[in-house]
């Protein structure tokens, strides 16, 4: 009887360990190759957050978004669109300031304190100089 309980317990631990390991070390998403859940203009995107940030966050959280907007600030690894949308880039920025661009990224949240919409894993899909 004790052997059966021990075998069942070891089997259960093995199954839990297997699924736990696969959950923790799952493949990372490749946002640049994913189809976009939403395609939106930067000004419309900002308007949704200004009107009700809770609903907008729930709608877009962890979704792939294609967004069109004007570059208003930039560094080597980030771009800010329309003064509010912060995009963390996957590669070094080679885009000129004041360009109109289309970016694809994953929405990770809205910063109430800085009033910034944040996207990560962003990549340039189109430049409209």
Greater confidence, 120 or 127?
120
Q: What is the secondary structure of the chain as a DSSP string? A: -HHHHHHHHHHHHHHHHHHHHHHHTPPPP-GGGSPPSEEEEHHHHHHHHHH-HHHHHHHHTT-EEEEEEEEEEE-SSEEEETTTEEEEESS---PPTT-EEEEEEEEEEEETTTTEEEEEEEEEEEEE-
CA distance 26 to 111: 28
Is residue 4 included in any domain, yes or no?
A: no
Is residue 101 included in any domain, yes or no?
A: yes
Is 25 a residue whose pLDDT tops 60? yes
The pLDDT tens digits of the residues spanning 50-88 come to 899 899 999 999 999 999 999 999 888 999 999 999 999
Is residue 13 included in any domain, yes or no?
A: no
Find the domain containing 74 and state its range: 31-128
Is 36 a residue whose pLDDT tops 70? yes
Is residue 21 included in any domain, yes or no?
A: no
| pLDDT-based confidence at residue 27 (cuts at 50, 70, 90) | low
Residue 81 sits in a domain of what CATH number?
Answer: 2.40.50.140
Q: What integer is the mean pLDDT of 18-25?
A: 80
Is residue 20 included in any domain, yes or no?
A: no
Is 18 a residue whose pLDDT tops 80? yes
Q: Residues 6 or more apart from 50 whose CB is under 8 A from it?
A: none
Is residue 10 included in any domain, yes or no?
A: no
Per the structure, how many domains does the chain have?
Answer: 1
Closest C-alpha among 50, 38, 41 to residue 107: 38
Task: Report pTM.
Answer: 0.74
Is residue 85 included in any domain, yes or no?
A: yes
C-beta atoms surrounding 114 within 10 Å = 10
Is 24 a residue whose pLDDT tops 60? yes
């Amino acid at each position: 009887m004790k052997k059966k309980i021990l075998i069942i317990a070891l089997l259960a631990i093995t199954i839990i360990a297997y699924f736990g390991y696969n959950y923790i070390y799952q493949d990372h998403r490749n946002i640049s190759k994913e189809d976009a859940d939403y395609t939106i203009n930067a000004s419309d995107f900002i308007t949704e957050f200004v009107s009700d940030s809770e609903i907008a966050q729930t709608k877009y959280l962890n979704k792939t978004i294609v967004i069109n907007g004007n570059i208003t600030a930039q560094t080597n690894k980030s771009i800010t669109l329309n003064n509010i949308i912060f995009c963390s880039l996957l590669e070094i920025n080679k885009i000129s300031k004041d360009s109109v661009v289309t970016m694809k990224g994953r929405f990770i949240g809205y910063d109430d304190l800085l009033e910034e919409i944040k996207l990560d894993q962003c990549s340039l899909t189109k430049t409209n100089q």
